[in-house]
Amino acid sequence: MHRNTTYQQKNLDFIYRQMARLNNPAEIGKLFEALFTPAELEDLAARWEILKRLHRGDTQRKIAGELHLGLCKITRGSKELKKEGSVVKEILNCKE
């Protein structure tokens, strides 16, 4: 979302707080299934796969070829992992 209106930001802030409150992966899964379409969840899972592969050192071209994705989507993930204090990188450093 590029342009957050006041109500959008308030709603996002509320959702973030509620997700932080949930300590149960099954409940978070139910929330995601209620909020997102199956296609949106597939896209989220694909984005996470991109991040995991980048984190382990795979090249962007290799990922694009194996996952049949455009380089733009992969480049976005690469930029995120290079950010100072990246929460995504912190999560990826944790063992599953």
- The pLDDT of residue 46 is 95
pLDDT in tens, the chain (96 residues): 466 688 999 999 999 999 999 999 999 999 999 999 999 999 999 999 999 999 999 999 999 999 999 999 999 999 999 999 999 999 999 976
**Helices 38-56 and 60-67, interaxial angle, to 10°?**
150
Domain boundaries, the chain: 1-35, 38-96
CB-CB contact of 53 with 63 (8 Å) = yes
Of the candidates 23, 4, 19, 95, the one whose C-alpha atom is nearest the C-alpha of residue 55 is 95
